[in-house]
Structure 1
């Protein structure tokens, strides 16, 4: 009985991780696409996506946000800031 519960919890954690990884990649792909464009609308979309991703990542109390994935978010936020700076100079 205990072994079944342990396996079920492990399976649920693995499923959650796969789902979160999928959303993480999807959000970052959207951001990358919009950061390549220089229009203010594209930058606004990218900013909204980053804000949504950032909020959801840090609301989750999970190991997966540590390390590389958290670094990805930080890098996108830095890119976003640079993109807005470049756009405002034009």
Structure 2
């Protein structure tokens, strides 16, 4: 699995301006919530935060929530690339 650190790392968005890249990503991101994988990723993010707070206190909560956010970001990016690549390209569908 490839890790996408920024929107510039996504091949369909790499050659676009900052504004256009953001616009296309927002369009595809909103559509990602139609898929169960996105909701599962959001639950994983919350579970990481809860586990951090439960086992390590407030500092652990912050660190584990950050890690959960990273995992969620990778999951939602893969959902977008799998199901909504046409939106990133600017094609109407």
The TM-score, its normalising length taken from structure 2, stands at: 0.35
Give the structure with higher Rg (CA): 1
With a CA cutoff of 8 Å and minimum separation of 6, indicate the structure with the bigger relative contact order.
Answer: 2
The TM-score, its normalising length taken from structure 1, stands at: 0.35
